[in-house]
Amino acid sequence: MSHLPLRSVEAFVIVARALSLGRAATTLNITIPAVSRRIQILEQYLGVRLFHRLPRGLALTWAGEKYIADLGPAWDAVRLATAAAKASEHAALKVSVIPTFAANWLLPRLARAQDAGVAGLDVELETSPDIIELATRPDIDCAIRLGRGPWPGVVGQKVLPIEAYPVASPDFVAAHRPCSPSDLARHRLIGSAHQPDFWPDWFRSAGIAKKDGPYRAFDNLQLVYEAAAAGLGIAIGLDPLVRPYLANGRLVRLWPGTVTLSRSFHLARRSGQPADRRFNSFRRWMMAEARAVAIS
């Protein structure tokens, strides 16, 4: 068998999915004639036509449709394996995390660990309020997810449980004096647009029937706490994320006591491949920090 023209195979996959030589040329960073030439080389190699050249665009032939159906998943596997192989053990561990957890919990602890010279904690963060699918992002090594789990395609480990309690600004508390769960129905509750079940979960866990009342949602927990600190209502305080606001006095708890929600923070990585040294170091460090929070 003559040498398989891998560059032509790559061009075919991109063109077959886009049905556009122009978009493929942009993706490959080559000219349109160069893309066309790669397709011609592959067609000559296979001895079949892969595309119908139409007045406006392209269409796959029967042979082309069958080839992309068989080849596409295999090519994606090659791409993911190549990206993983390029990720050096000495490269930073890239972690997907929600913004509030990054700002209020993870970054301060990472800064202290790095100042103390803790080995194995070269970490790069990508923040998003949404769950990032690790299967489609080979550049991300792992994720810290807030939810119940398990999730398909990942191996997860619970790191931090969520203790919850209502919080508000000191001025709001002084003006309205909420002192029991029954008072919550009289005021606007503030929660997360991405996790709308936080308040229902709190009422359920506290054994209290939820009463409908005014409600306002924001797209991340940082804004939830900023809104409460501005006096817009009563927020669901998630410990330990809300602790910085309690420490600086911008928010206060309405009454003692907490409930444990059904959601937790999990550290998740792709299934089907072994954990590397960087991930294992990060996991050990996170678990140690989580234990320290539990006893504080």
**Across the 296 residues of the chain, what is the mean pLDDT of every consecutive 10-residue run?**
82 92 90 93 94 88 94 86 64 90 92 75 87 85 90 91 94 91 88 89 84 86 95 93 95 92 92 86 92 76
- Written as six digits, the tokens of 138 are 């080979």
pLDDT for residue 2: 62
pLDDT for residue 1: 46
Side-chain half-sphere of 248: how many Cα atoms within 13 Å?
A: 8
Side-chain half-sphere of 202: how many Cα atoms within 13 Å?
A: 23
pTM: 0.66
Q: Coil, helix or strand for 57? A: strand
Task: Catalogue all structural domains in the chain, each as residue range(s) with its CATH number.
Answer: 6-86 (1.10.10.10), 88-296 (3.40.190.290)
Whether omega before 150 lies within 30 degrees of 0, making that bond cis, reads: yes
pLDDT for residue 212: 76
Residue 25 to residue 15: CA distance in whole angstroms: 9
- Beta-strand runs (E) in the chain: 51-54, 57-60, 93-97, 123-127, 142-147, 154-168, 189-192, 215-218, 234-239, 252-253, 259-270
